[in-house]
Amino acid sequence: MIKFFDAKREKTESLPERKRSIMLRWAFANTIFCFITFTIFTVLIYQLTITTFINAEKGDMLQALDNVEQRLARSENELTEENLFDYLGYGQDYTASKQWRENELETLGSMIGSRKSFYVFDVNEQLIYSTRAYNFPLRKDVGDSSVAIRTFGDYSGYLAERPVFSSKTGELIGYVQAFYDMSYYYSVRTKLLIALIILEIIALFIAQFVGYFMASRYIKPLERLHDAITTRANNLSMDFKPVLIQTGDEIEELATVYNDMMIKLNDYVDQQKRFVSDVSHELRTPLAVLDGHLNLLNRWGKNDPEVLDESLIASIEEVKTMRTMLEEMLALARLESIDFQDEDLICDPTEVSNFLMKNFLLIHPDLKMSVKNDLSPDSLAHIYPNHYEQGLKILIDNAIKYSPKDRQEVNLHLAEDEDYIITTVEDRGYGISEDDLKH
């Protein structure tokens, strides 16, 4: 057993590095899980935010375009630079002064928005008004309405174009065009992406720290169990102390199994020590007797028939004594090392008693032995059969041993009393003195 633990000691002592590796792998797995989860969450948030932002801006642009178109559609004539501002007022009489035109330009700019530019074309597709210094060419195939992403030089964004029909005559009187500059969108998108990446990196560090902390916390009971196993493996002679772990999970079950195993192992080691001690103690006298007789025969007794016969008889008796003691000690050792289950604790006293009677009658031909059975046919005892046989065998053997040669008679009586089965061994021996009965 010691060699077994020594052979495994090198592997046992290398467990701390494995343990740390498990902690790192656990923390790494937690980090990967958090990374994937947060990445999916980030992508969803990013896409949802950008989509919502774009749809909102596109909707605002189309709403502003509708407002401008409705005002321009009040004209009965084709739109020109001169009559354009007549249809952007609010039903008041304005003079076509320069100040009035500038005010109307500001009104139109507020209608379309700060990041949107507004353009009006006449029926000949000539630009007659714009809210920005730059302008975009009008497409030849302008239908009822069209919105598309267009890039013109350094500018890129949504371009909406729509023909304007007079609400009174139904005739085409011009075209209106709106452009939404997406540079702000790209700026917001880039900043949002950078912010999300920074948050994800921070979250990864936090997940790594939390994962390592949680892993070390969960591994701590295993560390205690590992330390106990390592200490025990390095010093089998030390007293065993159970490892108390109360985590309510598989680690606690593992510690319980280890404690049970070590208790059984300790019992086994103690049993072996007791067995060796008992054997050395009990066999010392018979071996000394054998040694004395053999030395006697070796010196001069082998030439004396009387001494030779006496020594041989004594030696045979001592050998029998040693064999009997060994059998008894081995039987006791076997009985102590067995872990009995409930299904094993079923014994038929009648069967065991009859079996022992046959064996003892075979060994002792002069023995008178009988079994009186007052048990019902289905009576069973709640005891391991070997235990019952061993105990009954010891009683019968003592009855024979302490009975005179002319009165070697043993009677067994089996009876039952409610919940118990009573086995009585009766002999014709010397009996026990009254002084010894007190003890």
* pLDDT tens profile 96-139: 444 545 555 555 555 455 567 888 888 888 888 877 766 777 77
Q: Are 417 and 428 in contact (CB under 8 A)?
A: no
Nearest to 176 by CA among 18, 324, 333, 64: 64
Query: Both 176 and 129 in a single domain?
Result: yes
pLDDT for res 349: 92
Residue with tokens 């089965």: 421
pLDDT for res 96: 45
Query: Both 86 and 226 in a single domain?
Result: yes
Q: Which two tokens stand for residue 242?
A: 């159970």
Identity of the residue numbered 252? E
The pLDDT-based confidence of 228 (bands split at 50, 70, 90) is confident
Locate all alpha helices (DSSP H) within 116-249, ordered by sequence: 183-234
pLDDT for res 287: 76
Query: Both 39 and 73 in a single domain?
Result: yes
pLDDT for res 423: 94
In-domain check, residue 366: yes
Is the four-CA dihedral 59, 60, 61, 66 of positive or negative sign? positive
**Phi, psi at residue 243, to the nearest 5°?**
-90, 115
Out of 22-26, 38-42, 192-196, 225-229, least confident range: 22-26
pTM of the model: 0.42
High-pLDDT (> 90) share of the chain, %: 5
Task: Name the residue range of residue 309's domain.
Answer: 250-337
CATH of the domain at 398: 3.30.565.10
Residue 66 has pLDDT above 80, yes or no: yes
Domain final residue pick, 276, 309, 337: 337
pLDDT for res 17: 47
Query: Both 291 and 419 in a single domain?
Result: no
Q: Is 139 exposed, middle or buried (0-12, 13-18, 19+ CB in 10 A)?
A: middle
Structural domain total, the chain: 3
pLDDT for res 369: 92
Q: Which two tokens stand for residue 144?
A: 């009822």
3-state secondary structure of 171: coil
Identity of the residue numbered 153? G
Query: Both 259 and 224 in a single domain?
Result: no
Give 390-432 pLDDT, tens digit per residue: 788 888 888 888 888 888 899 999 999 888 999 999 998 877 7
CATH of the domain at 290: 1.10.287.130
Residue 95 has pLDDT above 70, yes or no: no
Domain final residue pick, 164, 198, 232: 232
Higher confidence at residue 43 or residue 109? 43
The Cα 81–Cα 84 span in angstroms is: 5
In-domain check, residue 2: no
Domain final residue pick, 320, 337, 354: 337
Query: Both 220 and 142 in a single domain?
Result: yes
3-state secondary structure of 301: helix
In-domain check, residue 19: no
